[in-house]
Structures are given as structure tokens and as C-alpha cells.
Structure 1
């Protein structure tokens, strides 16, 4: 009987030990999540003239200009008040720190949705920020895997008060004081 118990223990050790060793050698992967998104509720939607002091930079919604910008990539910062009108229409806004390498800006332009705006943004807290109406996520860079996740989750404009509207047909940036120029 003792021999049988010993044989079972040897077989069990031969099976269990390699499994435990293999598990301990597996790298612990950190999966990207959208846990860091910020959401803002009860944003005003009124049209105003002049500048607005938004609490977030870039803004996530609120009072805004009567005119919105056409979709696309801009090489200089666009006025916040017009950009917020785009957000109201369901536009995805990708902003980046001025000075971000040109390859990274090109990578952002490549993933910009048809209903999107890309613009540099002075003073934002992260290298890249993605925003839809009332929802914002700071990203570590153009290659941050959370960008694709955010676009999958929020990139269709469902959070916008005027869901289904478009940034197409917006004003020419030259018609807004201080507006950026298309790239």
C-alpha cells in the first residue's frame, strides 16, 4: 500500500510541477481598458457669441459658436467654440500636443473617422486626447491601444445631443477668426 501511495505521489508531482513552473514563467499581460475615461453630464448646448471659458482642455461640450468646422485634419489649433459645435453633432475630436512627431500626427490622421477632426491643442494634459460629446480619454501617444477601443465604443457619436448630424458642410476654417488650416 505504501508503494502505491508513493507511486501516485510521484506521478502527481510529475504532472503538477511542470504546470506550476509553466504558469510562473508566463508573462503577466496588462490589458488596455477604458477605465480612465472621464464622463461629463448636463452640458449646456446653447449658441453663444465670443469666447467661452471651458473647464476642460480640450473641451467636452457646453455653450458653443453657431458655426461648426468641416471634418478633417488641421495643422493649427481650431477655436474651441466651433469645435464644441462639432462635438454636439457627434464628431470625434482627436487633439495632440504641439510638437508631437510628424509620424505620430500622420498615424492619428490615418485612424481619424470620416466624422472626425484632428487638431493640435496647447496645454492639454496628455500627448493625445480623444473626445466625443461628454466623454474624454487622455492617451499616452498615437500608438496607445486605448484609442482603437475608444473609437469602437464611442466613435459613432451616440453621446451627442444631435446624434446623426455631421461635421460635413461646416464652415471653412478661414471664415473663423484664429481657425486652423486643413492639412
Structure 2
């Protein structure tokens, strides 16, 4: 436009975009699924043309894939699904990772205020990962968490008072506490647990419930 001084916004140097993080999570998810299927090195066959004799043979080669960050620090629990109650629940974990919960789930998305535990736990029963952060977490770290969940339909992001660490990631029966939104294990946790094998009710909705996310 003539006379306009607007210029395209450049991404922050050194900071991955939402698309970059989504691609990284997708790659980790593919690796995780391959590992779950085989639990050993993936071997594929490639054709090798043998010049002498004009014959083709198949040579097995080991495919080296980059290992995702370790999730050994994840704490696991043993709550059964399907325990619906209407009253307020006192949870042993902070934030909760399973157990009794409201009959109505929380709509997945980004929230700028704390959400009700009982509804969020139901969302985790459907395969959602709930990322909670201290209300005083710096704004740039909150933005990084928002970038991490961009494009993920089965995630909940919300502030949570009195967390034991700045950021806590929870999936049904699994929880990881981290000190920063830049921790690479966040993407690895999402790749493993968003609608992961731990889900008591796979295929259930994370929409048409309660709550109005801002993003």
C-alpha cells in the first residue's frame, strides 16, 4: 500500500514458532508410536542394485532416529476411570492426575483463569494433557506454553495457584513437574500422552462440555 510503513513481523530469533513446535511434537509422536509397536531398533529394507549380474538384493539397514528427551521423571499413579461424582473432590495430588471427577468434562483449550479440577480431570480421562502454571509465571513463558499447545485439540492450559513447581504437566495417571516453559520434555510429554495409551476413554470428546477457552 503506497505510503504504508508497515513491515512483516519477524519471528523472535532463537524461539521456535508454533508451527515448528507442532512439527517437533508430531515427529516425537511418530517415534513414540514406532517404539511402542516394536520396542527395538527399527529395521527397514532398501533395495540395492548389484551391478554384476544385474540382480537386485535387499539389504537391511538400521535407521537411526533422534531420541526424544527422557521422561524418566514422570510420576505415575493408578486411578481407574469412570468414577463420576457431582460434589467437590479433595484430591491427593496437586494438581490432580485422576480419580473421581465431574460427569461433564472441561472443553479443551487455553484458559487465562483457573479451571475447576473436577471438570479438567474428566478431560484427562478423554485423553487430554492438562498443563498448569503458576499465576506469576513470566508472560513470555506463558506465551511459550501457548505456542506448545497450538494446534493440539486435546490439551488444556490454565494458571493454577500453589503449584509445587512453575509448570506441571498432567495426563491421566501421569505427571511431570518442570521449572521452565522452555523445558524440552514438555513437547515429549505432549507427544507421548495426548490421547496416549493411558487414556481410559479413547475417542471421547474434548469439546461440547463446560468452559469457554480463550484460545
Q: Give the TM interval when normalised to the shorter protein.
A: 0.7 to 0.9
Q: How many residues align?
A: 146
Residue 161 of structure 1 corresponds to which residue in structure 2?
200
* Structure-2 residue corresponding to 1:101: 138
Matched, 1:88 2:120: no
Shift of 1:84: 0.6
Root-mean-square deviation (CA, aligned residues, Å) is 1.7
Q: Secondary structure at the match of 1:136?
A: strand
Shift of 1:52: 0.3
In 2, Cα distance between the equivalents of 1:116 and 1:35?
Answer: 21
1:36-75 equivalences in 2 (<5 Å): 36-43=73-80, 45-75=82-112
Change (3 A) 1:72 1:42: closer
Q: Can you list the C-alpha shifts for 1:74-116, whole angstroms capped at 9, x where unaligned?
A: 0111010011110111011110011111111111111112211
For structure 1, the 5+ residue unaligned runs are: 1-30, 174-180
Given candidates 182, 186, 194, the residue that maps to 1:147 is 186
Residue of structure 1 in register with 2:161 after alignment: 122
Q: Name structure 2 gaps, 5 residues minimum.
A: 1-67
| Cα deviations by residue, 1:34-85 (Å, 9 ceiling, x for unpaired) | 1110010133531111210000111001110111111111011101001111
* In 2: Cα distance, 1:117 partner to 1:172 partner: 11
Point out the structure with max Rg over C-alpha.
Answer: 1
- Structure 1 distance, partners of 2:211, 2:162, is 25
Deviation digits for residues 2-45 of structure 1 (CA, Å, limit 9, x no counterpart): xxxxxxxxxxxxxxxxxxxxxxxxxxxxx942111001013353
Post-superposition offset of 1:171: 1.7
- 1:115/1:168 contact within 8 Å kept: no
Matches for 1:4-23 after TM superposition, within 5 Å = none
Higher helix share: 1
Give the TM-score, by structure 2 length: 0.64
Q: SS of 1:46's equivalent?
A: coil
Instruction: Give the strand-richer structure, 1 or 2.
Output: 2
Q: Does 1:132 align with 2:171?
A: yes
